[in-house]
């Protein structure tokens, strides 16, 4: 018998920009597909149907709870399916080093619904839970460690860089002052401290006052931007010529990393314009399929509010 949370999340999970991902990855019968952020398997369920039972799907996820979703997913498909647990940049680099090739690769970034929907994981400011936020529950660093041990300057930088928090310095100062009395243990305790640290008018602005700080802590705890920067080159190395890559981001910093990487890989010659002939020999590796990011429509946002900040970019490999 599956846990209640698994039964609920698997049936209610709505993959973001699902049809757009399916169209851009254009999976064909017999191909090899990599879902580098398997989660509850929403995107994989759509992509594997296009393999028509004759291809292979490699599922990657660092969260140990994803394995139960994968086992149920595998039982319902005729295609070959394999689950690899680990942080996606590490797994993709290992696969690339072993010359594993793929025809389509998907990275759906950020926190998954199955993590948000389990209050005990500590990702949400809306429920009282241990202050955790680890995507891999075996990882050493938790949000509790960061909040209680990082100095005021480091906390302020995290909140400003990863959360674009206007009151980063005030919030960091309030956290350090409060933890001097007793350490932070619970999400609601931290959320209340953040709320009290910002000016009263700002408490009634766009969303919950703790939204940006919680986001920034999650990104820092899981090194999400570092993982993305390491994953993109490995994923492109794995692609066969003609292979497609799609990335869904939910944060402006993530989207910037993807946009810049795709742009660099789509460039050819980098010689100065005054050179009469090319000396660098650089050829484009990718062709950008989405010069502007694909955004969800109003109907999708109404059905799934978590999709509102999603941006999808895709490319196709044009050379080795």
Residue 292 confidence class, pLDDT cut points 50, 70, 90: very high
The more confident residue out of 232 and 201 is: 232
Q: What is the CATH number of the domain that holds 202?
A: 1.10.150.170
Residue that is last in its domain, among 197, 221, 245: 221
What rounded mean pLDDT belongs to the chain?
Answer: 90
Mean pLDDT, residues 127-150 taken together: 93
pLDDT attached to residue 169 = 96
- What is the band of 270 on the pLDDT scale with cuts at 50, 70, 90? confident
User: Could you tell me the residue range of the domain that residue 97 belongs to?
Assistant: 4-114+224-317
Q: Is the pLDDT of residue 179 over 50?
A: yes
User: 36 pLDDT exceeds 70?
Assistant: yes
Residue 115's pLDDT is: 66
Write the pLDDT tens digit of every residue in 212-250.
999 999 999 999 999 999 999 999 999 999 999 999 999
Residue 119 falls within a domain, yes or no?
no
Q: What is the pLDDT of residue 320?
A: 65
Q: Which tops the pLDDT comparison, 205 or 169?
A: 169
Query: Is the confidence at residue 122, as pLDDT, over 90?
Result: no
Say if residue 235 is in the same domain as residue 307.
Answer: yes
Residues 99 and 159 in one domain: no
Q: How far is the C-alpha of 110 from the C-alpha of 216, rounded, in Å?
A: 11
For residues 14 and 110, membership in a common domain is answered with yes
Same domain, 244 and 215: no
Tokens matching residue 232: 């993109």
Task: For residues 295-314, give the mean pLDDT.
Answer: 94
53 alpha carbon, distance to own chain's centre? 28
**Which runs of E-coded beta strand occur in the chain?**
32-35, 56-61, 80-85, 102-108, 239-249, 286-288, 311-317
Q: Are residues 74 and 108 in the same domain?
A: yes
53 and 74 share a domain?
yes
Is residue 120 included in any domain, yes or no? no
DSSP, collapsed to helix, strand or coil, labels residue 217 as: helix
If one compares 267 and 91, the residue with the highest pLDDT of the two is 91
pLDDT of residue 117: 62
Residues 177 and 234 in one domain: no
Q: What is the pLDDT of residues 166-177, one digit of tens each?
A: 999 999 999 999
d(CA 167, CA 156): 9
Confidence of residue 283 (pLDDT cuts 50, 70, 90): confident
Task: Answer yes or no: do 235 and 213 share one domain.
Answer: no
Cα 315 to Cα 244: distance, rounded to the nearest angstrom: 6
**Which pLDDT value is given to residue 8?**
37
Strands 80-85 and 56-61: parallel
Mean pLDDT (whole number) for 106-132:
81
CATH number, position 23: 3.40.50.150
Number of domains in the chain: 2
State how far the Cα of 131 lies from the Cα of 136, in Å rounded to an integer: 14
pLDDT number for residue 113: 64
262 falls within a domain:
yes
């Amino acid at each position: 018998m599956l846990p209640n949370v698994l039964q609920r999340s698997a049936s209610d999970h709505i993959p973001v920009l699902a049809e757009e991902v399916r169209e851009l990855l254009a999976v064909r019968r017999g191909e090899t597909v990599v879902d580098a952020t398997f989660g509850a398997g929403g995107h994989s369920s759509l992509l594997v149907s296009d393999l028509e039972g004759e291809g292979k799907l490699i599922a990657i996820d660092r969260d140990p709870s994803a394995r139960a979703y994968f086992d149920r997913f595998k039982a319902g498909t005729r295609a070959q399916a394999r689950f690899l647990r680990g942080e996606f940049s590490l797994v993709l680099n290992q696969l690339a080093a072993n010359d594993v090739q793929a025809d389509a690769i998907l990275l759906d970034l950020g926190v998954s619904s199955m993590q948000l929907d389990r209050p005990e994981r500590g990702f949400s400011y809306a429920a009282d839970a241990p202050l955790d936020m680890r995507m891999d529950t075996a990882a050493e660093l938790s949000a509790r460690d960061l909040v209680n041990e990082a100095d005021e300057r480091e906390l302020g930088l995290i909140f400003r860089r990863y959360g674009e928090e206007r009151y980063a310095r005030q919030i960091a100062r309030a956290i350090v002052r409060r933890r001097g009395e007793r350490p932070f243990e619970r999400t609601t305790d931290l959320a209340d401290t953040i709320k009290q640290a910002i000016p009263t008018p700002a408490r009634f602005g766009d969303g919950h006052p703790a939204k940006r700080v919680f986001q920034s802590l999650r990104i820092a705890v899981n090194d999400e931007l570092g993982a993305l920067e390491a994953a993109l080159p490995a994923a492109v190395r794995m692609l066969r010529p003609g292979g497609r890559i799609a990335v869904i981001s939910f944060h402006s910093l993530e989207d910037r990393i993807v946009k810049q990487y795709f742009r660099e890989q789509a460039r050819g010659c980098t010689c100065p314009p005054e050179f009469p002939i090319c000396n660098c020999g650089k050829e484009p590796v990718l062709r950008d399929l989405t010069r502007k990011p694909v955004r969800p429509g109003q109907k999708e946002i109404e059905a799934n509010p978590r999709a509102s900040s999603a941006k999808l970019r895709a490319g196709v490999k044009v050379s080795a």
